[in-house]
Amino acid sequence: MKIASRLLLPALLITQLAFAQKNYPTMGKVIYEDPSFEKLIAKDAKIEVLASGFEWSEGPVWVKEGGFLLFSDVPKNRVYKWDEKDGLSTFLEPSGYTGKGIYSDEPGSNGLIIDSKGRLVSCEHGDRRISAMPLNVGGKVTLAGNFEGKRFNSPNDITEHTNGSYYFTDPPYGMNKKHADPTREIAQFGVYRIAKDGKITQEIADLTRPNGLAFSPDGKTLYVAQSDPEKAIIMSYPVDATGKIGTGKLVYDATPMLKAGKAGLPDGLKVDKDGNLWSSGPGGMLILTPAGKLLGRIEMNELTSNCTWGNDGSTLYMTVDGYVCRIKTQTKGAGW
């Protein structure tokens, strides 16, 4: 969910300039809260700006079979593609709302993944569903459009378990009047599972604003970020052999950082090969151990929405308000 806007350089200009010079603009800085963080990001690492000019960039995903990045611009109802050679282009439009007229200020796709079948799986705000689309031929199918006959609010982020089931969050951010929208059909802002057989279950019902989510490397823990300014937290939940989610516990409370004046909320998150969490939050990105110790921060001074691993798995791509950025790390994402 976007809560502020910035005056930005035109996207095509900044990508064309950067590509021509092979020297990308930089922004932000790395904060080392614990000495061990140097093992994850080197002291000379730079935060590169790859593209700019978006209304609210979100949902980045790296496509290994092709070597390019896809990401959403939620208000624009568009998915962009970026690669090192050609820079920026439109990949898909519309991306999350196919109706007539204006639906809301965030009608497009949000979270994206490439699933185990090689399809682009999208959380669609306007059409209020989870869809899947083959990258090479197009044509979407709906994986989940309702729960017990009631339409979802606005699916926000999604992840796939190694057993082939999907888990996604359903806050109100894509709805025209958000939580007060008269078209709401489900009372809870839940976390849902789509099993391999297509059955949909509500796994978590007691979060106020569930947002980003990711699995631990062994698949036995689900992390969920909550983007509630009154309770800006990251939770962990055990996952049993059947895929059912157990009782959650607090991993990290970012509310004090927010109250101290750092802008942003826990939103999208990913996990590295050692189980460390890389989560957007107040000030930019927060990097935590699985136990919730803050190792370091990537301070962007802009609202940061999400991240993904790319290239050989060691480059962290970040969607930062109207920007798309990256930083080279000394680890790799889980599953690489």
Query: Is the distance from CB of 301 to CB of 284 less than 8 angstroms?
Result: yes
pLDDT tier at 1, thresholds 50, 70, 90: low
Of 14-18, 76-80, 130-134, 331-335, least confident by mean pLDDT is 14-18
- The answer as to whether 195 is a domain residue is yes
CA distance 29 to 246: 37
Predicted pLDDT of residue 138: 78
pLDDT digits (tens, 9 = 90+) for 241-298: 999 999 999 999 999 999 999 999 999 999 999 999 999 999 999 999 999 999 999 9
Q: Quick one: which of 7, 136, 126, 128 has its CA closest to 77?
A: 126
Check which CATH number belongs to the domain holding 278 and give it: 2.120.10.30
Dihedral sign for Cα atoms in the order 143, 336, 40, 28: negative
Average pLDDT of the chain to the nearest whole number: 94
- The answer as to whether 255 is a domain residue is yes
CA distance 104 to 119: 27
pLDDT tier at 137, thresholds 50, 70, 90: confident
CA distance 19 to 82: 11
CA distance 126 to 260: 34
- The answer as to whether 123 is a domain residue is yes
- The answer as to whether 50 is a domain residue is yes
- The answer as to whether 142 is a domain residue is yes
* Number of residues written out for the chain: 336
- The answer as to whether 226 is a domain residue is yes
CA distance 213 to 157: 7
Number of domains in the chain: 1
Residue 224 belongs to domain spanning: 11-328
- The answer as to whether 1 is a domain residue is no
- The answer as to whether 334 is a domain residue is no
Q: For residue 47, with 0-12 CB atoms within 10 Å meaning exposed, 13-18 middle and 19 or more buried, which class applies?
A: buried
